[in-house]
Structure 1
C-alpha cells in the first residue's frame, strides 16, 4: 500500500506539472512594416504663425454713390488717386484728380502747394475742367453719344472721363477715327478703357463753359 500510495502521488504530481507546462506565455510582437512603406524622410514640425497683411495690399473698394455727377467724380477720383487730396504721383500729377501743372495754370491756379492743401479748390477745379471739356467736345458729344465704337457704348460721361485722362484733343481723334487712335497715358491706361469704365453717369448738372477758369 505504501508503495502504491507513493506511486500514485508521484503520478498525480507529474500530471499536474505536465498540465501547467502545456500553457506557454507568448511574447507580443509588433507588426512588421514592409520596407517599401517605411518613411525615410525626417519631418520637421509645422509651426502655425499669424499672417499679417500689409496695409497697401488690403483690397479697398471705391465708394459707390450711384450714377449721379457726385458718383461720377468720386469713382474717377478713386481711379486716379484713391481719393487722396495730398498725393503727387511719379510723373508730377497732383491731388485727388491728378491734374498736371500746365492744366492748373491754364485754368488760373499757380500755387501748387496751396492747391494740394485746399480740398475745396480741388473739387472746384474738377467741375471747371469738366465744364471746359464739355465746351471743347460739345459737337463730338452730340454726334457720338449713344453710338458704339468697337463694342464700347459711347456716353457723355465716358467722353469726359477720357478727356480727363488724355486731353480733349486726343478724345476727338479717338472718336473721329472710330477707335483707331486709342492713345494711352504713361501707365498704359487707354482712352477706350475710360470710355467703358465711366459710361452712363449723369453729368448734366455741369454746364459747358468756354475758357472756364477758377
Structure 2
C-alpha cells in the first residue's frame, strides 16, 4: 500500500521536472560579455608590508635572528624602529630609571606635552602614540633652523638627516642635539646606558619624517 502511495506522488513529480527542463532549457552564459579590463586589480603585497628577516647585533652584543614587519623608510617605519630600540615596542614597560612605555618617556617630558598622570599614560597606548607625535613635532620646531642648516652634511662620517636629528632629540633632548650639530660632533651626549647622539643619528637616518609638522605648542590630547 505504501509503495502505491509513493508512486502516486513521485511519478507525477518526475514528469513535471522533465517538462520544466524541456520547456525552459538552461541558458548558456556568454563569458565574452564579461571583462576586467580597466579595473584596478593590483593586489600584489609590496615590500613595505612584507616580513623581513634580519640578523642584528644589539647593544648588549648578543647577535640573534628576529622577524618584524618591514615598514620601509616611512614615518611608521621610523616610529616603530625607534620604539623597538627603546622598549622592543612594549607599551607597558618601565625601565629601572623610571622611563615609561613604548617610547620610554620621562615624567618631565610628559608634563611639557600636557600629560600629568604617568600611570594613566602607561596603560593608554593611544595616548603614548599621540605623545610620540607631539614630542616629535615640538622637537622639529625647536630644531627647524638646525635641520635646514645641517641636513645633507657629514659629521664624523655620518650623513645628517632630518629623521636622524629627530631620533637623537628623542634620546637626548633638542638642546643636546643643537650642541652636537653646532660643535660638529665634538659634544656627543650619551644616556645612562651609553647610547650616544651620533649612534641614533646614524641608526635612524634616511626615514621620511615629512609627516611630522613643526609645532611649538604640540600637546598629547586624547
Length-normalised TM-score, structure 2: 0.69
Gaps of 5+ in 1: 1-56
Q: Unaligned regions of 5+ residues in structure 2, if any?
A: 1-62
- Aligned partner (choices 97, 115, 124) of residue 103 of structure 2: 97
1:23-82 per-position Cα deviation (integer Å, ceiling 9, x unaligned): xxxxxxxxxxxxxxxxxxxxxxxxxxxxxxxxxx97534542100000000000000000
Structure 1 stretches of 4+ with a deviation exceeding 2 A read: 57-64
Partner residue of 2:75 out of 69, 74, 77: 69
Counterpart in the other structure of 1:128 = 134
Q: What is the rounded CA distance, in whole Å, between the counterparts of 1:78 and 1:139 in structure 2?
A: 29
RMSD: 1.5
1:111 deviates by 1.1
- Structure with bigger gyration radius: 1
Structure 1 match to 2:118: 112
In structure 1, what is the Cα distance between the partners aligned to 2:107 and 2:91? 15
Query: Counterpart in 1 of 2:192?
Result: 186
Aligned length: 159
**Match status 1:142 vs 2:178:** no
**TM value normalised by structure 1:** 0.72
More strand by proportion, 1 or 2? 2
Moved more, 203-212 or 192-201: 203-212
- Distance in 2, Cα, partners of 1:154 & 1:83: 25
The one of 151, 158, 181 aligned to 1:175? 181
